[in-house]
Amino acid sequence: MCGIVGYVGSRDGVPIVLEGLQRLEYRGYDSGGIAVAGASALRVHKAKGRIADLKSSLPKRIKGSPAIGHTRWATHGAPTDVNAHPHVDFSERFAVVHNGIIENAPQIKARLEADGITPVSETDTELVAHLIGQAAADHEDPVEALRSALSHVEGAYGLAVVDAQHPDRIMVARLGSPIVLGLGDREMYVASDVGAIVRHTKQVVHLEDGEIALLEADGFTTSTLDARPVQKISERVDFDAEDFDMGEHQHFLRKEIGEQPEAVERTISGRLDERFSTIKLGGLNLHPNELRSFKRVYILGCGSAYYSGEVGAQLIEELARIPATAEAASEFRYRNPVIDPDGLYIAVSQSGETADTLAAVEELTRKGARVLGVVNQVGSAIARATDGGIYIHAGPEVSVASSKSFTSTCVAFAMLAVHLGRIRDLSPADGDRLITALRELPAKIAAVLEQEEKIIEAAGWLSQFENAMFIGRVRGWPIAREAAQKIKEVAYMHAEAYQSAELKHGPLALIDAQMPVVAVVPDDELHEKQRSTLHEIRARSGPILAISHHELPTELAERTIVVPRTEPELEPILLNIPLQLLAYHAAKALDRDIDKPRNLAKSVTVE
């Protein structure tokens, strides 16, 4: 949940690192720092706050190469100058930046203090720096010192280390937290996310868990923690630096909501098979006979990925007639689940690095389950750890709140459901119907976006309240959950989501004139029952904003946002779009920090 950037080469690395940190600020933004190794001395500068604060306070003497930097989202210790990375060992020879959590930090700290080393910060990262410093007394090769230090560490880490005695290299290591190497022309880069370095190189190498790399200007070498050499093959990234720019928009979230027609177009591109009325998903790496053999589907994700999994589970049950459920990955492995030998497990993650979801994948793999991934980031940890899957190709998503990746993931599940259904009992006519609807989705999303002025007015009205309730039934239920999360994330409004029919079983006690209700009310088989729920709310003076396929009468809802019709199975995808804009404009009306909401970070790479 933090950002790492490093550079080694003939140029001044400081501007390169600072630029990369700004691109990673969505991953952590409560403090930052930079370290340069040169002339047998380290130069380190750290500052609480955003990267802009770090840049404005940076001394002119901080320049050169190699350089490493970090933008932090606090886990151990408050966001302060002292707790900011990089951290330096007791000999002031090594500087370390670190993503992840050291689980045996108390034991390491006790050991260091027994050896007369007193940490100055509250962080677990500083302890790693001291371990490297201690190990260097016994190992002339600093890579061996790093390897020795890490043998005492339990937990997750992505590390970059510079050494004042070797000011021509960067050492990096990975275990459970992403690290990518960038290959340049007699220069090398390291980052926790390729977006930080894509302006400088498109050739990258992903480190695997348990690997160490030594970077020098003219290349790199990789090995395992037990010193076995590893050969790596570089990959080319498929997006540009401009994808990480805000362009004409005030916030990345609004830009990314507006990019959804193009994102969905990429998700479906090349996958709609009109000839056989089905979907082509070669990345599943499963023969149709294998897919027919699964008796149940289990979907795991966190946050918005979990809610998209709920949409997916409904689609799979409805179209493929396979029992399917979605569950929070953060809970899955801790409840000692019974692994279904006839089940297909699907892990969902925009970043492909979500720690809780990755841990669930590893637990499933250990127990012999078949696991697929639905991810956005090519080459990510979950993509590499699963047996196959679907890349959603939504493009880079910078804002902490998910928008286009949520929508594209729902589209990916719709395609998977059609694919599974056509292998089973879904008719060619239904396959054709859904393929046509999928092809029309981008234009219909664009039509929803054109209603922004009406949504702005509704958001201004909603932002006057302190609380809100979101309701939906069946297909609308996961959309209500996702919408409630969005309004909490970016507008800091207290919001809850309930199944519409459950209001009368308790939550109806909360309804009064100060409890607005946002109701997802499609024109489906449950529409009349939904109207009954709206009458119950209005009878208790509850104000209602409806998301529906036609304008509701004012006795049911003061405001209605009308969404174009599509095939019933795909309606949740369109119903969610105005709710994204609603959260965005409510946050804007309340003057929130929309792209970097307090206490949150984009890629949750710690448990």
Pairwise pLDDT comparison (470 vs 81), residue with the higher score: 470
Give ∠ CA 112-113-119 in degrees, rounded to 5: 80
pLDDT of amino acid 241: 65
**What pLDDT is stored for residue 388 in this prediction?**
94
Beta bridge pairs of residue 529: none
Q: CATH number of the domain at 451-607, please?
A: 3.40.50.10490
The per-residue pLDDT for 526 is 86
Residues of the chain with CATH 3.40.50.10490: 255-444, 451-607
Query: How much is the average pLDDT of 197-217?
Result: 93
CATH topology of domain 255-444: Rossmann fold (3.40.50)
* pLDDT tens, residue by residue, 2-47: 889 999 999 999 999 999 998 887 666 688 899 999 877 899 999 8
Average pLDDT over residues 52-61: 88
Residues 86, 35: contact at Cβ < 8 Å? yes
CATH class of 3-243: alpha beta
pLDDT at residue 607 is higher than 60: no
What percent of the chain is modeled with pLDDT above 70? 97
The two structure tokens encoding residue 87: 């951290």
More confident residue, 240 or 112: 112
The tens digit of pLDDT for each residue in 327-350 reads 999 999 888 899 999 999 999 998
Taking each continuous run of H as one helix and of E as one strand, the counts in the chain are 18, 27
Tokens of 343: 């089940």
pLDDT confidence bin for 603, thresholds 50/70/90: low
Q: Please give the pLDDT value at position 329.
A: 95
Average pLDDT, the chain: 92
Q: Is the pLDDT of residue 605 over 80?
A: no
Provide the pLDDT for residue 604: 57
List pLDDT tens digits, range 453-512. Answer: 999 999 999 999 999 999 999 999 999 999 999 999 999 999 999 999 998 899 999 999
Reported confidence tier of residue 288, pLDDT bands at 50, 70, 90 = very high
Helix (H) or strand (E) holding 268: helix 260-268
More confident residue, 233 or 296: 296
Q: What is the pLDDT of residue 50?
A: 84
In the chain, pLDDT over 90 holds for what percent of residues? 77
Q: What is the pLDDT of residue 418?
A: 98
What is the C-alpha to C-alpha distance for residues 45 and 86, in angstroms, rounded to an integer? 8
Positions marked active-site: 2, 602
Complete DSSP assignment for 388-455? EEEE-------SSS-SHHHHHHHHHHHHHHHHHHHHTT--HHHHHHHHHHHHHHHHHHHHHHTTHHHH
Does pLDDT of 602 surpass 70? no
Element (H, E) at 515: none
Q: What is the pLDDT of residue 140?
A: 92
Taking residues 173-192, report their average pLDDT: 93
What pLDDT is stored for residue 26 in this prediction?
A: 66
* Confidence (pLDDT) at 132: 97
pLDDT value for 381: 84
Q: How confident is the model at residue 163 (pLDDT cuts 50, 70, 90)?
A: very high
Q: Where in the chain is the domain with CATH 3.60.20.10?
A: 3-243
